[in-house]
Structure 1
Amino acid sequence: MTSTALELQGISKSFDGFQALTEADFSARWGEVHALLGENGAGKSSLMNIAAGLYAPEAGRMLVDDNLVQLGGPRDAARHHIGMVHQHFKLVKPFTVAENIMLGHPLASGEGSHRKRLAQLEAQIQAKAQALGFDIDPRQRTERLSIAEQQRVEILKVLLAGARILILDEPTAVLTDQEAERLLSTVHALARSGAAVILVTHKMADVKTYADRVTVMRGGRTVKTVDPRQVAVAELVQLTVGDSVAAAVRDERSPVGEARLRVRGLRTPQAGGRRALDGVDLTLHAGQIYGLAGVGGNGQSELAAALLGLDDRIEGDIQLEGFGDLKAASTSERRVLQVAAIPADRYGIALAGALSVAENFGIGQVHEGRYGPVWRLDRARMQADARDAVAAFDVQGVRNLDQKAALLSGGNAQKLVLAREFGRMPRIVLAHSPSRGLDVRAGAEVHARLLAARDAGAAVLLISEDLDEVLALADRVGVMTRGRIVAEFDQPADRQSIGQAMVHHS
């Protein structure tokens, strides 16, 4: 066996005239965890998508075990034992775990009845899951699994299909500290057993703790490959962004104003013997960031959906000062009331990927009549407003305002959402995992916008499973478990006490 598992040499790739990769290089060895670090839009995912057979390079070459290969698609990559777990999971939610895994498994076209082949696969899943320390029921429907469990299914899917070169794209972006530690310890052990693991990440702590080597990319080019144990975090940040990034600083002296939003007795319909929300009470004050922490799957997503008006089955009260029941407010009324919405799913909910950058920005003011009647929109004015907003919020990767929003990287897509929602200073900000999957610079810019909104008098709710983010920004911290807020802390809050509340009430 050669020491080099995968090598990419001089890779170039463009999309719609945009040069995503320029002569990028990367190599991973058998038996190592190799981290790939860079800002959003640096080309990391594009390079790994080429390694996984999803994109074809326009220049350069790829070697597996020192043998030149040309991939015609993901099936070719699988034949070369390459498997990729994407940041946005590719699971069929109504299917069981075993049915999802069978989609990419050799047993899918094997001999015997479907039921017999499925039973064989279920046994394989149980054996592999046990070896990896995963607690997975092969017969459980995927839609009932937590985010962490769905990720384990994706890993099982590629490993059972024969992958020995495992690419993980932002694997800890949606996990709690404990879940992330468990996952990375597992893949580290997998590498030590002889596999090659490529970790695409923004988290410096993950790189320093688990990676044997780290390659930094910037602007579609490879900058440098270093031993993370031999370099400081500050140097990695410098390599990643090219200059220093100022962290957002929470002003301890910010005064707290009147209660802007009161939530009382919020409940979802009972399903499967329990309620996702089971009596949520909280109050948001002007000039305050209320940070809601908790282990994933304890009702945070359902609370965000209720407050954002995405679920009309909610029981209880959401009273907005000066208006009344926010549940009764239409989308256009919410905008008039200056309620800013930053959902966790920026591509699925916050943006319409098939629409242009200008349309995604302007849609926030269409109902107010700023661009005239909907049957004859003033697109020139919309484009002018979008152009100013793109510049003001530093939305990179916008070659023209007519390009589809789906072509923006994660960080720049989030900046476009912020540009629209903060186009005028909001009175209420509802933010769910606003910096999930973002690099150091983009995350710092998001945090700065939330702090600026608070300092201007907005009441901000920050729902995040990243406890570091909550502690860095929040003036008051709540802990959510089993659909309720079970504890609250004023800053400076004790991290251990918050952690105990998260665990002991679950």
Structure 2
Amino acid sequence: MLEMRGITKRFPGVVANEDVDFTVRPGQVHTLLGENGAGKSTLVKILYGLYQPDEGSITFDGAPVAIDSPSVAIRTGIGMIHQHFMLVDTLTVAENVALGLGKPLSLTHLGPIRRRILEVSEEFGLAVDPDAYIWQMAVGERQRAEIVKALYRNVKLLVLDEPTAVLTPPEVTDLFVTLRRLTADGRGLVFISHKLNEVMEISDEITVLRDGRVSGRTTPAVSSRESLAMMMVGRPVEFTRNIAEQTPGPAKLEVQNLRVRGDRDELAVHDVNIDVRAGEIVGIVGVSGNGQRELAEAIVGLREIESGVVSIDGQPVKSPTPKQVRSMGLAYVPEERMKYGSIGEFTVAENLVLVDHDRPPYVRRGLLSLKSIERHSRQLVDDYSIRTPSTTTLTRKLSGGNIQKVVIAREFSGDAEMLLVAQPTRGIDIGAAEYIHEQLLTQRAQGKAILLISEDLDEVMALSDRLVVMYEGAVMGRLSRHEATIDQLGLLMSGVGEPEGAAVA
């Protein structure tokens, strides 16, 4: 079906792919593994026509092809679900699908498209409202819209970049059943994931990239998580963590009877009560779109609170603002690092001082101190292992994991005593995730109060002292790290049980 031979792609100062061979056969799930910056995204962007290779060739269905645009890729029979969404925020799901098909955006043409979206949604178990505007949708809902958009077409080869990032364990199981149906029909799938358990379960073949080159080819039958991780990062990776027991201090962040409305004026957060104490991590678990985003935005002052109170370090703040909560000692790592956590057209150095650029030593007599900014930025690049050609590199040119490290470095290196961290490792590789987990545990050991919002069950179970499960904006249950299981959390995330009233975590 697909043969990529000798693919090489160079950017200024970087060789993204070097002499890469990659083959996908009909009816096969071929997984592409590698750290952020290893060359995976570049390789699939070449396949989808977003980049052109400097060297090498592509053959599809036995014939040489020149894929110089996504439209050519689609006509060839290649579909792709991007890690960073390729959707127009101001249009509905149906309009986005129509746009991709080249259809005029009129109600006449949208009728059949809407019906087909509903059919595809039902067939593949992906709840998507064809009339919902993208800007109103949570990250997980947008991901599902991307999946439906790709499956809407009858593609022969489908590239899936982190397709399970926002699904519950039962939904992942259902998706894998769907993927197997697709391969049974003779379609080929390129599966990109950093969840090694999933890779072992769904893959027929696995190709691992490191530093732009193929570092290994294998199959699940002769592999383990440890061997795959070794091929990815070139060193052993720690999968289990011994978290030191420590007695938490007083409550630093408290949420009391919080009610918050969503973008469609629906009640997105229902009477939620949470407290986070010094020296502990409280994990918020739930499928994307169940109130976590609205909860986080309300706490940091990005969304209006309908009722209830947020207390920071014992001080009630009924209508917080971003500047106010930051001045009170609460740092924020948002779930969308590209949209809210960083400015792509700013340099690495500029993003690292983004929230403190108006304070000494970065400003003197009303002027920026470029030497102080450069010195501080170089120190953070070293301390947080940020892979960048220089501190003057535009942030948008970094890999997703390194952009996340920039955000983490900025927020963790300040004097904040509380951290609200949303989806810290979404879409990044195992090596970067391991490093970010270490940083979170370091902050915990230093006595920081950390509210961790994540849809990765392994992550929250490994890091959290206590877990709070949300479903449709309400708290479904509270568990300690020692008593929580994947099955328990999966059921609560699916809404099995009764939401609680106004008990405190």
TM-score by length of 2: 0.92
1:27 paired residue among 16, 23, 28: 23
Matching residue of 1:84: 80
Deviation at 1:155, TM superposition (A): 3.1
The within-5 A match list for 1:378-457 is 378-396=369-387, 398-424=388-414, 426-457=416-447
In structure 2, relative to structure 1, the CA distance for the partners of 1:25 and 1:276 (3 Å cut) is: same
Q: State the alpha-carbon separation in 2 of the partners of residues 85 and 467 from structure 1.
A: 23
The reply on whether 1:359 has 2:338 as its aligned counterpart is: no
Does structure 2 conserve the Cα–Cα contact (< 8 Å) formed by 1:78 and 1:162?
Answer: no
| C-alpha separation in 2, matches of 1:312 and 1:122 | 33
CA 1:380–1:314: 2 relative to 1, 3 Å: farther
Deviation string 1:92-114 (CA, Å, 9 cap, x unpaired) is 344333221111226x17xxx94
Q: Sort the Cα spacing of 1:323 and 1:271 in 2 relative to 1 into closer, same or farther, 3 A.
A: closer
* CA drift at 1:78: 1.2
Q: 1:287 offset after TM fit, Å?
A: 0.9
1:328 Cα shift? 3.7
Q: What corresponds to 1:341 in structure 2?
A: 332
Is 1:231 aligned to 2:223, yes or no?
yes
2: CA distance between counterparts of 1:7 and 1:402? 38
Shift of 1:136: 4.4
Cα distance in structure 2, aligned partners of 1:373 and 1:66: 64
Contact preservation (8 Å) 1:105, 1:160: no
The corresponding residue for 1:42 is: 38
d(CA) in 2 for partners of 1:433, 1:12: 33
TM-aligned CA distance change 1:329 to 1:152, over 3 Å: closer
User: Is 2:199 the partner of 1:203?
Assistant: no
Question: Which AA in structure 2 matches 1:392?
Answer: D
Identity %: 35
Q: Any conservation in 1 of the 2:312–2:328 contact (CA below 8 Å)?
A: no
Bigger Cα displacement from structure 2, 485-494 vs 469-478: 485-494
In the alignment, which of 7, 10, 19 is matched to residue 11 of structure 1?
A: 7
Give distance in 2, aligned partners of 1:149 and 1:263: 26
Say how many residue pairs are matched: 496
Q: 1:354 to 1:140 in 2, by over 3 A?
A: closer
TM-aligned CA deviation for residue 393 of structure 1: 0.7
Deviation (angstroms), 1:202 = 0.8
| Consecutive unaligned residues in structure 1, runs of 5 or more | none
Equivalence for 1:461 = 451
Is residue 363 of structure 2 the alignment partner of residue 372 of structure 1?
yes
TM-score by length of 1: 0.92
1:19–1:220 Cα contact (<8 Å) kept: yes
Query: Match for residue 100 of structure 1?
Result: 96
C-alpha distance in 1, partners of 2:52/2:156?
21
Q: Is the 8 A contact 2:386 2:405 kept in 1?
A: yes
Three-state SS of the structure 2 residue aligned to 1:267 is: strand
Residue among 464, 473, 479 paired with 2:463: 473
> 1:374, 1:197 → 2: CA distance?
58
Change (3 A) 1:368 1:145: closer
**Runs (5+) with no aligned partner, structure 2:** 500-505
In the alignment, residue 52 of structure 2 is paired with which amino acid? Answer: A
Q: Residue type of the partner of 2:468?
A: G
Cα-Cα RMSD = 2.3
**Partners of 1:148 and 1:179 within 8 A in 2:** no
1:293 aligns with 2:285: yes
Q: Point out the more displaced range, 456-465 or 89-98.
A: 89-98
- Is the CA contact (8 Å cut-off) linking 2:141 and 2:288 kept in structure 1? no
Decide whether aligned partners of structure 1 residues 334 and 185 sit closer, same or farther in structure 2, where only a CA change above 3 A counts. same
What is the DSSP-based 3-state SS (H/G/I as helix, E as strand, rest coil) of the residue aligned with 2:43? helix
Quote the Cα distance in structure 2 between the aligned partners of 1:335 and 1:273.
27
CA contact (8 A) 1:94 1:141 kept: yes
Measure, in 2, the Cα distance between the counterparts of 1:431 and 1:92: 27
Q: Which stretch of structure 1 is more off in the superposition, 199-208 or 119-128?
A: 119-128
Structure 1: which amino acid aligns with 2:333? I
- Cα distance in 1 between the residues matched to 2:325 and 2:106: 51
Instruction: Tell me the secondary structure at the aligned position of residue 268 of structure 2.
Output: coil
Distance in structure 2 (CA, Å) of the matches to 1:478 and 1:269: 20
- Judge conservation of contact 1:248–1:448 (CA < 8 Å) in 2: no
* Deviation at residue 446 of structure 1 after TM alignment: 0.8
Corresponding residue number in structure 1 for 2:166: 174
CA distance in 1, matches of 2:417, 2:126: 44
